[in-house]
């Protein structure tokens, strides 16, 4: 089947190819009847522009990369949806890669996206192991921005929640409810965001006179099954915790599953706090108390700041580093500490 060209559209519409090009590029000074006529022919012929040819002429692809930690986590799925919808409004295409929280997949994703000539990349779940790689991209003038993730260097762009403050809010909430034995389900410390949540958790406990029990802290990989197993083992102990803070809402759901399997009532027997405030957490059947990351604001700001970096390469010099304020969302999964024998 022969590809329809702008020459075909121009011939049938009775206009020049340059007029067709102006219509396709939303040139403002085109008479309405001319624009309508060209658009009608485009629709009739099923014309689609050759984006590869256009990018070669304009030396732009109008595409960006979005690298996610795990698309199975609702946090990443929901934030990706916001980013993609807004990018479409701004006439940018988004190429999505899922790393499964594996460093080697992150390396591959970055190289593939650069090979596809994306104009910038938004990343999440970037471990400390990739500090040099991200810094090199930044130093080479390639627009890259981290969200829900950061690196402890000045030459990197990121937008992230104040994770230390978020963890402190969770601990403060549980202490006010009378809880004295509070566990923490986290992720690998190579991710600074989850590391900061663990630090905030420990600092707040110590400042309130509580000793740190490392046996109450899970710092392994992001695995629903492993978190479920750890939590179940923890809750079978005679001196079990009366509250658990999870580093994500998805992790909190694994905690709730483990508690349910042991016939523990939420929040009468166990209080649970998540992180993220995904849509499911507000479901009336779950009602998860959680720390909101302002997900929509984080996603939209990440995209708009990246596009700013893309379109102002020559003038943007200082790094973009934004910390969002966390918010405690109190729902049904937290309550007064139970009286223990």
User: Are residue 170 and residue 249 in the same domain, yes or no?
Assistant: yes
User: Are residue 194 and residue 75 in the same domain, yes or no?
Assistant: no
User: Are residue 153 and residue 89 in the same domain, yes or no?
Assistant: yes
**Sheet of 157-161, strands arranged across:** 93-98, 63-68, 121-123, 144-147, 157-161, 321-324
User: Are residue 281 and residue 253 in the same domain, yes or no?
Assistant: yes
**What is the model's pLDDT at position 316?**
62
- Cβ–Cβ contacts within 10 Å for residue 305, how many? 21
User: Are residue 40 and residue 106 in the same domain, yes or no?
Assistant: no
| Residue pair 25/38 in contact by the 8 Å Cβ criterion | no
- Give 166's DSSP letter: H
User: Are residue 151 and residue 170 in the same domain, yes or no?
Assistant: no
Q: Which residues contact 279 (CB under 8 A, 6 or more apart)?
A: 74, 78
CA angle 137, 66, 99 (to 5 degrees): 90
Secondary structure class of 224 (helix, strand, coil): helix
Quote the number of domains for the chain.
3
At residue 27, φ and ψ (nearest 5 deg) are -60, 130
Q: 274 forms bridges with which residues in the sheet?
A: 290
Nearest Cα neighbor of 111 from 137, 135, 93 is 137
User: Are residue 302 and residue 264 in the same domain, yes or no?
Assistant: no
Q: In what helix (H) or strand (E) does residue 132 lie, and over which residues does it extend?
A: helix 131-139
Q: What is the largest CA-CA distance in the chain?
A: 89
CATH of residue 281's domain is 3.40.50.2300
Range of the domain at 12: 6-49
Residue identified by tokens 């009286």 is 339
Residue identified by tokens 């702008």 is 6
Residue identified by tokens 């008479």 is 31
Q: Which residues contact 78 (CB under 8 A, 6 or more apart)?
A: 278, 279, 295
* Tens place of pLDDT per residue across the chain (341 aa): 467 788 888 888 888 888 887 887 777 778 888 888 888 888 888 777 655 445 544 556 789 999 998 888 999 999 999 999 999 999 899 999 999 888 889 889 998 998 888 999 999 988 887 788 888 888 888 899 999 988 877 778 999 999 999 999 999 999 999 999 999 998 888 888 889 999 999 999 999 999 999 999 998 888 889 999 999 999 999 999 999 999 999 999 999 999 999 999 999 999 999 999 999 999 999 999 999 999 999 999 999 999 999 988 756 667 889 999 999 999 999 999 997 65
**What is the model's pLDDT at position 227?**
94
Residue that finishes a domain, picked among 293, 308, 331: 293
CATH of residue 26's domain is 1.10.260.40
Give the span between the Cα atoms of 132 and 235, in whole angstroms: 41
**What is the model's pLDDT at position 56?**
45
**What is the model's pLDDT at position 58?**
53
3-state secondary structure 77-111: HHHHHHHHHHHHHCCCEEEEEECCCCHHHHHHHHH
User: Are residue 170 and residue 263 in the same domain, yes or no?
Assistant: yes
**What is the model's pLDDT at position 53?**
47
**What is the model's pLDDT at position 230?**
95
User: Are residue 101 and residue 177 in the same domain, yes or no?
Assistant: no
User: Are residue 186 and residue 216 in the same domain, yes or no?
Assistant: yes
- Give 214's DSSP letter: G
Nearest Cα neighbor of 160 from 253, 56, 1, 295 is 295
Strands in 55-197 per DSSP E: 63-68, 93-98, 121-123, 144-147, 157-161, 182-185
- Cβ–Cβ contacts within 10 Å for residue 113, how many? 21
- Return the percent helix, strand and coil in the chain, to nearest 5: 45, 15, 40
Q: In what helix (H) or strand (E) does residue 328 lie, and over which residues does it extend?
A: strand 327-329
């Amino acid at each position: 089947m022969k590809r329809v060209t702008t020459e075909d559209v121009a011939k049938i519409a009775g206009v020049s190819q340059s007029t067709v090009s102006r219509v396709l590029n939303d040139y403002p000074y085109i008479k309405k009847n001319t624009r309508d006529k060209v658009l009608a022919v485009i629709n009739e012929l099923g014309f689609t522009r050759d984006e590869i040819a256009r990018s070669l002429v304009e030396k732009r692809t109008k595409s960006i990369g979005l690298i996610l930690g795990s698309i199975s986590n609702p946090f990443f799925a929901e934030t990706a949806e916001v980013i993609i919808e807004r990018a479409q409004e701004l006439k940018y295409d988004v190429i999505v890669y899922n790393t499964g929280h594996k460093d080697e997949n992150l390396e591959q994703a970055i190289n593939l996206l650069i090979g596809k000539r994306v104009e910038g990349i938004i990343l999440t779940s970037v471990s400390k192991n990739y500090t040099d790689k991200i810094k090199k991209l930044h130093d080479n003038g390639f627009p890259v921005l981290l969200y829900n993730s950061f690196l402890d260097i000045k030459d990197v762009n990121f937008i992230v929640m104040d994770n230390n403050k978020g963890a402190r809010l969770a601990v403060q909430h549980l202490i006010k409810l009378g809880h004295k034995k509070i566990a923490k389900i986290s992720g690998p410390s190579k991710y600074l965001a989850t590391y900061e949540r663990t630090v905030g958790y420990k600092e707040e406990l110590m400042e309130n006179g509580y000793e740190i029990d490392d046996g109450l802290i899970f710092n392994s990989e992001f695995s629903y099954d492993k978190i479920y197993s750890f939590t179940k083992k923890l809750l079978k102990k005679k001196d079990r915790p009366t509250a658990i803070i999870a580093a994500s809402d998805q992790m909190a759901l694994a905690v709730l599953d483990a508690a349910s399997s042991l016939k523990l009532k939420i929040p009468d027997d166990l209080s649970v706090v998540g992180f993220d405030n995904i849509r499911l957490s507000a479901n009336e059947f779950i009602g998860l108390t959680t720390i909101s990351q302002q997900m929509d604001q984080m996603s939209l700001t990440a995209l708009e700041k990246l596009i700013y970096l893309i379109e102002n390469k020559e003038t943007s010099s200082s790094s973009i580093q934004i910390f969002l304020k966390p918010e405690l969302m109190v729902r049904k999964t937290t309550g007064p500490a139970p009286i223990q024998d």
